[in-house]
Structure 1
Amino acid sequence: MMRFVAIFAVFAVALAAFRPPSVPLLVSDPYFSIWSSGNSLYDVWPTHWSGGINALAGIAYIDGKAYRFMGPLTPPVSMTQTSLVVHPTRTDYTFTQSGVELTVSFFTPSLLTDLDLLSLPFGSITFTARALDGKSHDVSLYFDHSAELCVHQSSEPVVWRRSHQGGMSFAQIGTQAQKILGAKGDFQRINWGYITLGIPDDASTSMVFAEADLSRAQFVAKGTIPATDDTRMPRPASDHWIVSAVRMALGQVAAQPVSRVLYLGYDDAYSIDFFGVRQQPYWSSRGSRTIQDAILTATATWPDTMAAGAAFDKELEASLFASGGQAYQEVGSLVYRQVTGSCKLTTDEKTGEVRYWMKEISSDGDISTVDVIFPASPFFALFNPELLWLQMLPVMEYALNETAPGYLYTLPWAPHHLGTWPVADIKPAEQENMPVEAETANMLLMLATVGARMNRSTEWLPKRVWPVLCSWGDYLVTVLPDPGNQLCTDDFEGPSPHNVNLAAKGILGLSAFAQLMAMAGQQCGASRDGAYYQARAADFTQYWLSHAHSGDHYQLQYNLPDSWSLKYNLLFQRLLDMTTFPESVFAEELAHYRTKHMNPYGVPLDNRATFTKLDWECWVGAMSRDQDFFNQLITRIRQFANDTPTRVPLTDWAQTPTPKYVGFQARPVMGGVYAKLLDEAMHPRSA
């Protein structure tokens, strides 16, 4: 596990209890992604990140009476939820009723330094009960999940099956059609593969396939579940709502805690179609033929895995708190699984090549979108820079024409994306071109950052990529210092001609390329070495300084003297120890944001509207290296998350005068929250 450096004193002021807009439960990848948007776990049905119901039900039977703790079930009354804590890899709910305390913990082993754990397609739910009143109570627990977890529409026919293996029982539900990789799109939910529930074989635990109403009603009335499986299949998921149900008899529960654990996950069979070549999940290439095998193998050491997750959470939360107080700890913990759950680690079926894929999520649904990887990049550069490279690898392969005949890439700039999740099949003519922005400068900046994080080494970078990288550097030289009328990452605002922040990114991209060349000992042609590209960056900076300045700050566009914008792209000057732009630029911009544009919920993106991007705010806060300013920003982001009435996985596009949601949800770009920790990791200071 990597070590984080705590550099600031502990913050003394505690904030009120945090109410996330939506709580991550089990979040493994874009398809297996279950959230709860209620204040309490029993207020609403859990959902997929897209909003479609992924029903999970939970009932406690205490001394002959039933109480619900998960899902808006009727008729049982609810237990009382007394706490909710969202950790990076785990979410803990605590309930009380009739002298019994019940803790329900959802754990996803998304540890980025361990690819075997990161790739596991399942998580665990641990139920722990204890008596609070000095008495002993007879306790049984009920859990079920619906077939909604494996369909896009509830009208799709499903089938189910049970199996026993190695001391465990498994229940699987999947669509009858099983059209693997047969549908793509942003809000498309998976409808191939099988949702899998696993429980240890034990006399106190039983499992059944049953109609939801029948199974739940029997447990409420008697504390038992049906003795035989419902076998009427195939049938639509919504036809009497077939569920996988589990009864866990805890027996007499006193002060000593009693626990049970179950495992829930998704076997998608194949994860990505990469220009006609299927990519299998990484976990299934590591000796696990099936998800049952994977669960059996993992359960042997699951207590150690959970302990590793708890230790990681504790260390990361301490670093977040030391760096930015309670608000930073809470926001950083909330978005951790949001970011990891946007990605999928795979192995090429033909070559064995390992790749890491990111879904854009809720703003387009594209796969491997470079201007989405870019704002998320601080997260991966912090925890495991190899993963950042593995996200860029398929983009590089496409640019190098190593994918498939008929997809000849001849554009002088880097690709924007590779297709629509989960199918990478885009042709160059179909690209959403952002020549300076999302493609070229972003790729060069991220490559240099990976090199810096890899002990300033480029051994990980194949030599065959250098001709393409040189062409990208040369492209930037031809279009700077004024990128003209191009889209930037904030394309929802439309084209921004002569964009100053975009020009800064291109200039820093050239400086980053010069650094990368120095690390690798490479040059372009006979005369274009790193010094050449750095000299061009210096020339362009002079133009930028003279044409973008507007009294006490720098403009949105070269041709708009009364405009302004967040210059978040300057972050990479801090990360990569550049001296391209003078320190006065940072000082003037910071003062302008702080004194003229700080609203109750943050600083707007620019003068065109009052909305902002939470990820870019975190970049600006990190690049300021001003603790008070960062605290102001992160506290406002935390307050937006707490106050917004739109209960979806945290948006990155939000209003600043009010806690109003503008658009987007669950996007991986919120990895930008970790920009400050990345800067501290790359520039350790004594406490």
Structure 2
Amino acid sequence: MLLSLVALLATAAAAVARPADQTVFGVPAPPSPPHRRPSVELSSSRHDSHGSTFSPLLPPAIPLAVKSPYLNAWLSAGGDDGSKGYLAGSWARHWPVHYAGSQRDHRLSWAGLIRIDDEVFEFLGAPLSGALSFLGSDKVAQQTAFTYTATRSIFTFEAAGVEFNATFLSPVTPNDVVRQSLPFSYLVVDVNRHALENRTVSVYTDISGEWATGDSSIDITWTYKSEAGIGTHAVSRKKQLVFGEHAEQAEWGHAVYATALRKGVVAGSGSADKLRARFIRHGKLDGTHDVRYRRVDNDQPVFGFSVTLSEQEPAAIFTIGHVRDPYVNYVTPKGQVSLSGAWTTRWPHYVDALSAFQLSASRALLEAARFDATLREDARRVSGDAYAAIVELSTRQAFATFELTTGVGDDWKEDRDEVMAHLKEISSNGDMTTIDVVFPLHPILLYANPTLLAHLLEPLLRYTHSGLYPNRWPVHDLGTYPNATGYNRGDDEPMPVEEGGNMLWMSLAYFQLSGDVKWVEKHYDVLKQWTTFLAEDGLVPAEQLSTDDFAGTLANQTNLAMKAIVGIGAMAELAKGIGRWTDWVHYRAVAEAFATEWTKMAMTESGEGRHAKLSYQDEDSWGILYNLFGDRALNLKLFDQELYEEQAAFYQHKLERYGLPLDHRHRWAKTDWQMFAAASSTTRKGRDGFVDSLVDFLAAGKVDAPFPDLYETPTATFPGREGLDWPIYFIARPVVGGHFALLSLEAADAVNGVDPEERFRA
């Protein structure tokens, strides 16, 4: 299997010349160059001044090890200070965090060197800078290509006449909860084995204590063990702060770095300069381990491996991760309950889980290649290569924002036979399982596996069933990650109509794709309670926040009222689905009556056509009516086709080069809501216009962080805020799951018996 793995990896970056349907060892290859629409400028076939290609485009930041909120390592690429897509010379970073206009350095030192005969080249990070320059080893491997898929980032290099690849794989296995919960990623360095016939090649990689804590001024400890077929470095904060964070990183648990034990593998730890110098001089480590425990920034300790390659074993495979136990702190009527990662139900000790992950690398790559090929094929069918480039870049980011854990039983104790999922609202404020962030995430789950959506709703629904939350509407969030402490006084951020509509919308979406009658019956009374609230307060919302809370409160929001109507209509369908006929008739009648009244109050005429206002009272206003997507995706048919056509036509007047502004008040654009609007379009041209402008934003290269979801349409930069001198940074967030709106619509139409050709005219 290893040779198959290596062959697949070795050909990944060369896929730019391969026909789209060609396979390697029966596995679909990574994408060939896109047959793009002329209006889209993808950069896959272009070389920059240094000679690398970037396929399907050069993103603002490149995912390296992106598997959980606490294993979230990226290579900044865009902006003035980004790497421009080159792996060598720049350090990985825990998703960048910005404060008051300056960027804090969340560096994650991850170094990679390759020794070919007697020459040493840098290919990962910047290990040859500074103190090692005295050795005369300052060579950098030439990067010739970069490509990304949904699960992989593949860099191809040439050094001393030898071609090799560095592949970063964060597996996405949505149909296997336990494997999806594993907090590990791979780095695979492989060399064309024919080059090893007459060349001596060895690979060195290491990580630093920065992976174990966000505070470089504290003491860390570490161990190295050889067991279960692998060698494992485990690095941790000396004083564990369970359920604590510093600079958004976990301050308990262990950062782990491992590889399989075989001939030619040597482990070592010690000062960064000394350990790397040893490899530069000798081509391998000597097995020495430094046990002088100290601060992260005191004579920087690193933890590495050297691997000698051969024709029989031409790849070095490393596993990187962050393991914790327990994972989260969950509120119940009997107090807080600690929940463990779902993977602990199969592998009680992390070394066993790590071993299983490391030794199944071949399987993981084959599965990843199939997942990648399927997603790319589906996305290209829906809206071409530009859309594929968007959803592929979104996949790892979205899946890494939530974690799967054990559940809670009826006795309010941990139940290891149950599953919960918990989301971190990365970068905006760290809230836990925020409903209006789960909401834009949910399209990717509908596409990948709707059961994951049920797992994310479970902690919210259980908290509501507990009776601890006093309000009639859903709680906004459950606390600050990883502490789901709840809001037993009802003092959470007030978004009553927003969250009520979101929960009912997502509940029906899950039910339509799963047919899970028992789930609906279990939660029916709570769902009905929220619907009653929306029937009383949803059509004319009082002044309040919507999910776009950065824009402030507003009374009589038309888009918010539409969400309430969609929510009530969703409840009618849920009632119908389990035979509650009286409720079905009642809520359907309410939703239809509200839709009629909404149309009278919300619509206006302007020189650019008839369209919805931002608020009922403001005739000169407008905004993206992204909640119309609910009527279409859930097949509710509450609003006339005329509304869809009017909105689609109006958007064309407002669409700018880098996207459609959120509303008339600012030039801010939201990537998720644009994709919701795209899925509500009536023509392929209108749909693809949203897709193309979003690709233009990515390709502009003005930002340097994981797929930002809020930006300025004239400049493709982070947005400012009126009256303040600091910008808003929404990066690495879960909401990129909303980019799957078009794919989730296709899935919903299939189960609802809707012909997709009816959705978009030519």
**What TM-score, normalized by structure 1, do the two folds share?**
0.93
1:667 pairs, out of 716, 733, 748, with 733
The C-alpha deviation readout for 1:523-551, integer Å capped at 9, x for no partner, is 6xxxx511101111111111111111111
In structure 2, distance between residues paired with 1:447 and 1:562: 35
Q: What do the CA deviations read for 1:403-452 (whole angstroms, capped 9, x no partner)?
A: xxxxx322111111000000011323320010100x21100000000000
CA–CA distance in structure 2, aligned partners of residues 572 and 631 of structure 1: 20
* 1:605 and 1:612 in contact (8 A); partners too: yes
Shift of 1:80: 0.9
- The answer to whether structure 1 residue 677 and structure 2 residue 743 are counterparts is yes
Q: Secondary structure at the match of 2:494?
A: coil
Structure 1 residue aligned with 2:495: 434
1:64-112 per-position Cα deviation (integer Å, ceiling 9, x unaligned): 0111001123242211111111111111111111111110111122211
Does structure 2 retain, via aligned residues, the 8 Å contact 1:11–1:321? no
Contact 2:206 2:302 in 1 (8 A): yes
The one-letter code sitting in structure 2 at the alignment partner of 1:651 is P
The corresponding residue for 1:4 is: none
- The aligned counterpart of 2:665 is 608
Q: Does the CA-based 8 Å contact 2:151-2:172 persist in structure 1? A: yes
Instruction: Give CA-to-partner distance per residue, 1:278-312, whole Å, 9 cap, x none.
Output: 010000122x1222101223344432222111111
- Of residues 324, 330, 337, the one that matches 2:383 is 324
Q: Is the 8 A contact 1:184 1:423 kept in 2?
A: no
Partners in 2 of 1:216 and 1:262 — Cα distance? 17
- Equivalents in 2 of 1:581, 1:157: separation in Å? 61
Counterpart Cα distance in 1 of 2:175 and 2:683: 30
Q: What's 1:461 paired with?
A: 520
Q: Distance in 2 between matches of 1:514 and 1:560?
A: 31
| CA distance, structure 2, for counterparts of residue 302 and residue 63 of structure 1 | 28
Do the aligned partners of 1:24 and 1:91 also contact (CA within 8 Å) in 2? yes
In structure 1, runs of 5+ residues without a counterpart are: 1-8, 403-407
Q: SS state of the match for residue 497, structure 2?
A: helix
**Structure-2 change in CA distance of 1:12 and 1:586 (3 Å):** closer
Q: CA 1:133 to 1:277, structure 2 compared with 1: closer, same or farther past 3 Å?
A: closer
Distance 1:40 1:107, change over 3 A: same
Segment of structure 1 superposing worse, 52-61 or 124-133: 124-133
Whole-Å separation in 1 of the counterparts to 2:384 and 2:561: 34
For 1:80 and 1:639, the matched residues in 2 are separated by: 28
Give SS of 2:340's match: strand
Q: Map residues 185-224 of structure 1 onto 2, 5 A cutoff.
A: 187-224=247-284
Match of 1:559 in 2: 617
Of 631, 656, 668, which residue of structure 1 is paired with 2:688?
A: 631
Q: Distance in 2 between matches of 1:462 and 1:156?
A: 51
Q: CA separation in 2, counterparts of 1:135 and 1:296? A: 30
Aligned residues of 1:128 and 1:257 also touching (Cα < 8 A): no
Equivalent in the alignment of 1:3: none
Q: Measure, in 1, the Cα distance between the counterparts of 2:197 and 2:222.
A: 41
Q: Which one of 592, 603, 623 corresponds to residue 538 of structure 1?
A: 592
Task: Name the counterpart of 1:488.
Answer: 546
Q: How many angstroms apart in 1 are the aligned matches of 2:572 and 2:617?
A: 29
Task: Pick the aligned partner of 2:631 from 567, 570, 573.
Answer: 573
Instruction: Give the alignment partner of residue 69 of structure 2, picking from 30, 35, 40.
Output: 30
Which residue pairs with 1:5 in the alignment? none
Following the alignment from structure 1 to structure 2, what is the Cα–Cα distance between the partners of residues 243 and 369? Answer: 37
Secondary structure at the counterpart of residue 646 of structure 1: coil
- What's the Cα RMSD here? 1.9
Q: Distance in 1 between matches of 2:196 and 2:430?
A: 53
CA contact (8 A) 1:175 1:191 kept: yes
Partner of 2:414: 350
Partner-residue secondary structure (3-state), 1:436? helix
Paired amino acid for 1:432: E
Specify the code of the residue in structure 2 equivalent to 1:110.
V
Q: Give the equivalent residue in structure 2 for 1:549.
A: 603
Give the letter for the 1:350 counterpart: E
- Asked whether the equivalents of residues 600 and 658 of structure 1 are also in contact (C-alpha less than 8 Å), the reply is no
Distance, in Å, in 2 between the alignment partners of 1:326 and 1:616 is: 20
Cα distance, 1:459 vs. partner?
Answer: 2.4
Equivalent position amino acid for 1:120 in 2? L
Give the alignment of 1:518-529 within 5 angstroms.
518-522=576-580, 529=583
Which residue, out of 426, 429, 452, partners 1:364? 429
1:393 aligns to 2:458 (yes or no): yes
Percent of aligned pairs with the same residue? 30
Correspondence 1:502 to 2:560: yes
- Output one character per residue of 1:209-256: Cα deviation in whole Å (capped at 9) or x when no partner: 1111111122223323244111101x11111111111101114x6xx9
- Per the alignment, residue 266 of structure 1 pairs with 322
Please give the secondary structure, in 1, of the residue aligned with 2:190. Answer: strand
Give the match for residue 512 of structure 1.
570
SS at 1:649 equivalent: coil
One-letter identity of the residue aligned with 2:497? V
- Quote the offset at 1:132 in angstroms: 8.2
Deviation at 1:678, TM superposition (A): 0.9
* 1:69 corresponds to which of 100, 116, 123: 123
Change beyond 3 A, Cα 1:227–1:169: closer
Q: Deviations over 1:352-409 (max 9, x none)?
A: 331011111111100010000011111111111111111111111111226xxxxx32
Pick which of 667-676 and 376-385 moved more: 376-385
**Equivalent in 239, 248, 269 of residue 177 of structure 1:** 239
Structure 2 CA distance for aligned equivalents of residues 544 and 316 of structure 1? 38
1:10, distance to aligned residue in structure 2 (A) = 6.8
Shift of 1:628: 1.4
Q: Deviations over 1:159-211 (max 9, x none)?
A: 01111213221111101112221x258x4211211111121111211111111
SS in 1 for 2:393: helix
Among candidates 42, 52, 67, match of residue 15 of structure 1: 42
Give runs of ≥4 in structure 1 deviating > 4 Å: 9-14, 131-135, 684-687
Distance 2:615 2:539 in 1: 12
Residues 1:392 and 1:589: Cα distance change in structure 2 (over 3 Å): same
Aligned CA distance change for structure 1 residues 365 and 64 (closer, same or farther; 3 Å):
same
Are positions 1:645 and 2:709 aligned together?
A: no
For 1:480 and 1:411, the matched residues in 2 are separated by: 15
Assess, with a 3 A threshold, how the Cα gap between structure 1 residues 496 and 686 changes in structure 2: closer, same or farther. closer
Q: 1:118 aligns with which of 177, 180, 186?
A: 180
Q: Show the counterpart of 2:507.
A: 447
- For the residue of structure 2 that corresponds to 1:270, the secondary structure is coil
Give 3-state SS (helix, strand or coil) of 1:514's partner. helix
Structure 1 SS opposite 2:526: helix
Distance in 1 (alpha carbons) for counterparts of 2:718 and 2:112: 31
Separation in 1, partners of 2:383, 2:472 = 41
Q: Which residue of 2 aligns with 1:44?
A: 90
Output the amino acid matched with 2:460. Answer: V
Structure 1: how far apart are the matches of 2:542 and 2:476?
Answer: 18
Tell me the number of residue pairs that the alignment of Structure 1 and Structure 2 aligns: 659
Distance 1:676 1:398 in 2: 32
The answer to whether the 8 A contact 1:398-1:409 is kept is yes
Does the Cα contact within 8 Å between 1:320 and 1:332 map onto a contact in 2? yes
Check conservation: 2:189, 2:317, Cα contact below 8 A: yes
Partner of 1:153: 215
Code of the aligned partner of 2:741:
A
- C-alpha distance 258-625 of structure 1, shift in aligned 2 (>3 A): farther
Kindly tell me: are residues 676 and 219 of structure 1, through their superposed partners in 2, closer, same or farther at Cα, counting changes over 3 Å?
same
Structure 1 Cα separation of the partners of residues 461 and 475 of structure 2: 8
Larger deviation: 335-344 or 569-578? 569-578
Shift of 1:134: 10
Instruction: List runs of 5+ in structure 2 lacking aligned partners.
Output: 1-33, 45-56, 77-82, 98-105, 408-412, 720-728, 758-762
Distance 1:476 1:203, change over 3 A: same
Cα deviation 1:587-620 (Å, max 9, x = unaligned): 01110011x2111100100000011100000010
